[in-house]
Structure 1
Amino acid sequence: MKKHQWVATFLSLICTGLGMFYIGTPGMIVGGIILMALQGASLFIFFMTLGFLGLIVAPVALGVHIVGLIITVVYFNYRTPKDPFKAQKRQRQFSSPWKIAVRTVIGAALFVGAIYGGYTTGSEPFTKSGAEKRVVQEAAESYLKQKYNESFKVTDVRYTWATGTYYLRAHPEQNPELVFRLESNDDNPPEISNENYLNELWALQLKEILTPLADELYPQTAFLSTWVNVGHNQTVERNYRNLNSENGAAVGSQHVSLTVFADLTADNLLTEQERVMELVQRMPEVMVEGKTGIQIDYYPSELNTPGNVKKINKGTFDEGFNGGKQTHIFRVDDISEITSANDIEIRDLSKD
């Protein structure tokens, strides 16, 4: 296979019709344009139908690509000119590197344009432009600043056409680690709703409050996560310790989760029940009033590694860690229902 045949075949392999532009005859260029337009149209149809016609569109797009590749190969293998004049003409066609480069660049630009046009036009009804997202971002930041009297940064804006809703993620400028969610409709001006800044802020503060107690009862073997549900508050209170019904700011409910690395057996199960009882009795001493649930997940002590602890703190248990390795579980939706260690039911998952 000659040099130009290799190059043209490779170009047709990576981009539909590009090898035909490399060849550069008028017929090849027109054919390449048609194939590229079909690729763009296929992409347009795919996104316009939200992928539901993918089983039809994908074979068509692949077929168009293969056609371009076949045409390129056939041109070199089955169309060798017998007429010396035509042979000389073809030789001149590949003797000008700059013309080949120009044709190829034009073909690549048309291919990219067809793909980009098919994608943007096909997905446009279901997406929002960068400018539209910036409007929502600025509206959200303004809303948060006015409500909490501090500056926030919206870091992610995503639009879901099915619900006509923007889903955003934000954090206080002074605390990038405290990420929370909020939503907006697509009205003009946007209306911000369902933000959970206080939920995340109170949960973080509650974790800091409970950590010394957990460390005391479970030295280096238990790791906390907390969740706090905002109640129907009349005022904005950012300090968890100040929450009470008297000042019009209180929690709706709260939940504490512990991941404990311990090898529970029949010999030490009673001791663990007593320890859980102590935990349940002492939690209300440092927590604000409100319905409180607790869940403790037990795993073998051998899994207490820095890597697994990091996953726990990030809330990213993977199947290799979580699937099938948990040994016991204790859960109750309201700790006020627990009056003695006999109410502590630590379930052995191996018996389920």
Structure 2
Amino acid sequence: MTTKKIKKSRGFHRFVATLLSILGTGLGMFYLAIPSYMIGGAALIITQGILIYFTMFSLGYLLIISGPLAIFFHILGIVFTVRSFQISHHAERTPTVAALPSKWRTLLSLALGATLLLLAVTMKYVDIIEPFTQTGENKRNVAAESEQYLEQKYGEDFQIQNISYHSIPSTEYTMEAISNRHPSVFFNMTKRPYEDVPFRENYLNALWESQLDIKLKPVIQKLYDDSAAVHSGVQEGNTDKMIKEYDDFKLNPEAVGDQYIRIIVFEDLTDSGLPLEKERVLQTAKVLKTVLAGNKASLDIEYFPSAMNTQRNLKAIELNDYMFGQDHFDKKTYEVQIEDIYKLMSTEDIQITPLHRDE
């Protein structure tokens, strides 16, 4: 092979290696198929994977540190790859064919690098950081202890799911739980070794909210012509008795604490239609008082364009109505916030706030 062809081939390899380094940390170093560079690329990928893992488990607290570091390691991989092609230009040294990697050697090393990068991105380096995340056996023991605690407290069977251990910012186990009796009710549970209480959980709150949502859904759909979604929140008030049915609060209103109702409406509301909408809000509050227990509840209504009334958005609201409002805040057109519907007497007490934004 002539010197001209070798230089052309090296130029092609330099372009591909640099492009791979830009697309994925360390991939260009694996493309070189040189052992020392492959080891360096692996070190960069593994280090970046650990940074991602700790960032996720710190709930984002370490992002201000890990973010710049991850970018630094990515750039470092690009620099090493580019520098590898900067050969000496002495007259007595001419690039040879042997200096270029073979096709199969390149493909094999590149596949290895891509696999390592995939493991890093998907945070599968559990064995590396196992001392900081607790062993699988410890997690299983905590899960069994959690299930036993719930079964003794509520007299039901439960299943623990998605248990995680966090050492930053505080030492704790977090998990999701589900009741076998009420499989649609998911709730969170936390175990903090340094606290006196064995566990913190919100099963009853999740259970009441689920029961109340079932009651509110047909009422709200009728008022808003199937163009609205509703979600509730219920806190316990002053009572020593365990209450599992929301309707039982009607026998003891003091037993229910703060309640909130959030309604998300998909409708092309305009300023000219606000007077009529206030009448509907007042009617909504009146109907809610016939369904709710207790004597205090707040009401938030958020309005979005009718084009957003899709099954995908309705599912997102069902999973987390608050995050839906935050994620689509820029599309919200109006909102109503009523501190206590039991003190609402007329439309004069209702203010619909426009959220028009400059186009």
TM-score, normalized by length of structure 1?
0.68
Give the secondary structure class of the aligned counterpart of 2:283.
Answer: helix
Structure 2 CA distance for partners of 1:16 and 1:239, relative to 1, 3 Å: same
Q: CA offset at residue 321 of structure 1? A: 4.7
1:166 equivalent to 2:173? Answer yes
Give the secondary structure class of the aligned counterpart of 1:191.
Answer: coil
1:241 equivalent to 2:235? Answer no
Tell me the residue number matched to 1:330: 336
The one of 284, 291, 313 equivalent to 2:289 is: 284
Alignment of 1:226-237 (within 5 A): 226-237=232-243
Q: CA offset at residue 205 of structure 1? A: 0.9
Tell me the residue number matched to 1:135: 141
Q: CA offset at residue 203 of structure 1? A: 0.9
Q: CA offset at residue 127 of structure 1? A: 2.2
Q: CA offset at residue 40 of structure 1? A: 8.5
Q: CA offset at residue 73 of structure 1? A: 9.5
In 2, Cα distance between the equivalents of 1:174 and 1:269?
44
In 1, Cα distance between the equivalents of 2:291 and 2:215?
7
Equivalent position amino acid for 1:141 in 2? E
Equivalent position amino acid for 2:147 in 1? E
Tell me the residue number matched to 2:59: none
In 2, Cα distance between the equivalents of 1:45 and 1:344?
52
In 2, Cα distance between the equivalents of 1:223 and 1:80?
70
In 1, Cα distance between the equivalents of 2:173 and 2:239?
25
Give the secondary structure class of the aligned counterpart of 2:153.
Answer: helix
Structure 2 CA distance for partners of 1:230 and 1:299, relative to 1, 3 Å: same
Q: Deviations over 1:34-69 (max 9, x none)?
A: 747965895699689967377568646864786588
Q: CA offset at residue 255 of structure 1? A: 0.8
Calculate the aligned-residue CA RMSD, in Å: 4.8
1:150 equivalent to 2:150? Answer no
Give the secondary structure class of the aligned counterpart of 2:134.
Answer: coil
Give the secondary structure class of the aligned counterpart of 2:324.
Answer: coil
More displaced stretch, 231-240 vs 177-186: 231-240
Q: Deviations over 1:232-270 (max 9, x none)?
A: 5422221100125759x8221111111223444465433
Equivalent position amino acid for 1:334 in 2? D
**Identity over aligned residues, as a percent?**
27
Q: Deviations over 1:148-177 (max 9, x none)?
A: 111111111122212112221111134443
Tell me the residue number matched to 1:309: 314
Tell me the residue number matched to 1:270: 275
In 2, Cα distance between the equivalents of 1:207 and 1:65?
53
Structure 2 CA distance for partners of 1:234 and 1:44, relative to 1, 3 Å: same
More displaced stretch, 41-50 vs 134-143: 41-50
Alignment of 1:76-225 (within 5 A): 123-124=129-130, 126-161=132-167, 162-186=169-193, 191-193=198-200, 195-225=201-231
Give the secondary structure class of the aligned counterpart of 1:225.
Answer: strand
* Matched-pair contact (CA < 8 Å) for 2:27–2:41: no
Give the secondary structure class of the aligned counterpart of 1:317.
Answer: helix
Equivalent position amino acid for 1:289 in 2? G
Q: CA offset at residue 181 of structure 1? A: 0.8
In 2, Cα distance between the equivalents of 1:275 and 1:204?
25
In 2, Cα distance between the equivalents of 1:54 and 1:283?
47
Equivalent position amino acid for 2:174 in 1? Y
Tell me the residue number matched to 1:25: none
The one of 326, 334, 346 equivalent to 2:352 is: 346
The one of 247, 253, 256 equivalent to 1:251 is: 256
Equivalent position amino acid for 1:275 in 2? R
In 2, Cα distance between the equivalents of 1:61 and 1:320?
29
* Matched-pair contact (CA < 8 Å) for 2:300–2:338: yes
Structure showing greater Rg = 1
Q: CA offset at residue 273 of structure 1? A: 2.2
Tell me the residue number matched to 1:26: none
**Structure 1: gaps of 5 or more residues:** 22-28, 82-86
Structure 2 CA distance for partners of 1:33 and 1:302, relative to 1, 3 Å: closer
TM-score, normalized by length of structure 2?
0.67
More displaced stretch, 284-293 vs 119-128: 119-128
* Matched-pair contact (CA < 8 Å) for 2:303–2:332: no
In 1, Cα distance between the equivalents of 2:76 and 2:357?
55
Structure 2 CA distance for partners of 1:159 and 1:245, relative to 1, 3 Å: farther
Structure 2 CA distance for partners of 1:245 and 1:61, relative to 1, 3 Å: same
Structure 2 CA distance for partners of 1:244 and 1:126, relative to 1, 3 Å: farther
In 1, Cα distance between the equivalents of 2:49 and 2:230?
48
* Matched-pair contact (CA < 8 Å) for 1:151–1:173: yes
Count of matched residue pairs: 320
